[in-house]
């Protein structure tokens, strides 16, 4: 829920700021700024909660903690690269693929009741998927509409 709040609040603030400074509403840029803030916010979790997030990684993937750190770095790089027009479309497709690829980890976390912040098995459970799956779809559409279909 927190990433979604960051995405919405920062996008709205960016829209207002851009309107005040340029006189125009730039929805795509505001949405990219919001997405970048959300990606940096979630990337921080990869470093702060690496051990707990490693529990979410499917069992067949080796070096779980290293994968978490790497994906955190990639998220942060993606957040910044969205703002370079020559890379925007490629980065957007990468992020869409990333959002699809991490869905199994979120499903595993829900099925196994993983609380990644504590690194325990007392998380929200399967009900979380009713929020998380639509959220992933929202992130995918957000990136597509603000970066590819502009």
In degrees to the nearest 10, what's the CA dihedral of 63, 65, 67, 70?
-130
Give the predicted TM-score (pTM) of the model: 0.93
- Rounded-to-integer distance, Cα 46 and Cα 93, Å: 21
Give pLDDT tens digits along the chain (150 positions).
899 999 999 999 999 999 999 999 999 999 999 999 999 999 999 999 999 999 999 999 999 999 999 999 999 999 999 999 999 999 999 999 999 999 999 999 999 999 999 999 999 888 888 888 999 999 999 999 999 987
Q: What H or E segment, with its residue span, contains residue 111? A: helix 103-111
Structure tokens at 21: 């400074």
Number of domains in the chain: 1
What was the pLDDT predicted at 101? 95
- Rounded-to-integer distance, Cα 109 and Cα 126, Å: 9
What was the pLDDT predicted at 145? 96
- Rounded-to-integer distance, Cα 39 and Cα 50, Å: 16
- Helix, strand, or coil here: 115? strand
- Rounded-to-integer distance, Cα 43 and Cα 129, Å: 21
Domain that holds residue 110: 2-148
- The most distant pair of C-alpha atoms in the chain lies apart, rounded to whole Å, by 52
The set of residues, in sequence order, having a beta carbon less than 8 Å from that of 42 and lying 6+ positions away, is: 3, 75
Q: What H or E segment, with its residue span, contains residue 118? A: none
């Amino acid at each position: 829920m927190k990433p979604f709040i960051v995405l919405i609040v920062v996008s709205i603030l960016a829209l207002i700021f851009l309107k005040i400074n340029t006189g125009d509403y730039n929805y795509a840029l505001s949405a990219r700024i919001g997405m970048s803030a959300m990606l940096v916010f979630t990337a921080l979790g990869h470093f702060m909660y690496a051990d707990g997030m490693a529990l979410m990684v499917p069992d067949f993937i080796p070096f779980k903690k290293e994968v978490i750190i790497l994906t955190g770095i990639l998220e942060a790089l993606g957040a910044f690269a969205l703002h370079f027009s020559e890379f925007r479309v490629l980065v957007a497709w990468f992020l869409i693929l990333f959002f699809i690829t991490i869905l199994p980890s979120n499903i595993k976390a829900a099925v196994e009741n993983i609380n990644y912040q504590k690194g325990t098995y007392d998380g929200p459970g399967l009900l979380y998927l009713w929020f998380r799956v639509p959220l992933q779809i929202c992130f995918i559409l957000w990136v597509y509409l603000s970066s590819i279909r502009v």
